[in-house]
């Protein structure tokens, strides 16, 4: 008979989340606050943010910072968006200085540790959200529209619209609409 430890339980959760587990997830699986504290003290777990822990046995990937940002919010509906999503779609040469997240309106974040994050509040329809690297991210059209609204450089947005069109991530009508919105923003209409 195999004994499943509380660390094994956390490892199972963390395997699907780039090595992270939250306090809420741990509690749902029967791991108590005291258990988490003991594991941190013993070096079996690292506390990396408000209510977020890293299981060190899981290899680090290039996407860990994005998963950590999503879990940091503590909101199930949080998605990668704006400049971060534009980078994730690899349709622009953008290199965002912060990780951009969108959470539903009505949720306010009051926790420390989000200095490297830009949090936006918007109610997204389910069709506007898709998945990339096992994380929720705004779809290409929504991403570009958000970037137009937030003032991303015109040349980066033209590049994104062009590349997304060539890659069939945007249809012709969508491209025309996004170009119109970009020109309107830039005062060309």
Per-domain boundaries in the chain:
6-54, 64-185
Looking at residue 161, its pLDDT comes to 97
pTM of the predicted protein model? 0.88
**Structure-model confidence comparison of residues 18 and 189, the more confident one:** 18
Looking at residue 1, its pLDDT comes to 60
What's the whole-number mean pLDDT along residues 56-80? 91
Average pLDDT score over the chain: 92
Share of the chain above pLDDT 70, in %: 97
Give the residue from 20, 87, 32, 97 showing the smallest Cα distance to 60: 20
Query: Which residues, 6+ apart, have CB-to-CB distance to 64 below 8 Å?
Result: 18, 19, 20
Looking at residue 61, its pLDDT comes to 87
């Amino acid at each position: 008979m195999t004994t499943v430890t509380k660390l094994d339980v956390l490892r199972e959760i963390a395997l699907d989340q780039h090595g992270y587990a939250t306090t809420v997830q741990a509690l749902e699986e029967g791991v108590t606050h005291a258990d988490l504290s003991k594991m941190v003290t013993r070096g079996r777990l690292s506390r990396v943010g408000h209510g977020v822990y890293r299981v060190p046995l899981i290899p680090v990937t290039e996407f860990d910072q994005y998963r950590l940002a999503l879990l940091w919010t503590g909101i199930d509906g949080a998605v990668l968006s704006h400049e971060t999503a534009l980078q994730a779609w690899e349709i622009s040469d953008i290199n965002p200085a912060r990780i951009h997240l969108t959470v539903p309106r009505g949720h306010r974040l009051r926790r420390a540790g989000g200095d490297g994050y830009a949090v936006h509040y918007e109610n997204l329809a389910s069709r506007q959200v898709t998945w990339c690297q096992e994380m929720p991210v705004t779809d290409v059209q929504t991403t570009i529209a958000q970037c137009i609204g937030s003032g991303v450089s015109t040349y980066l947005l033209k590049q994104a619209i062009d590349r997304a069109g060539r890659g069939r991530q945007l249809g012709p009508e969508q491209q025309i609409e996004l170009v119109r919105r970009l020109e309107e923003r830039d005062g060309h209409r």
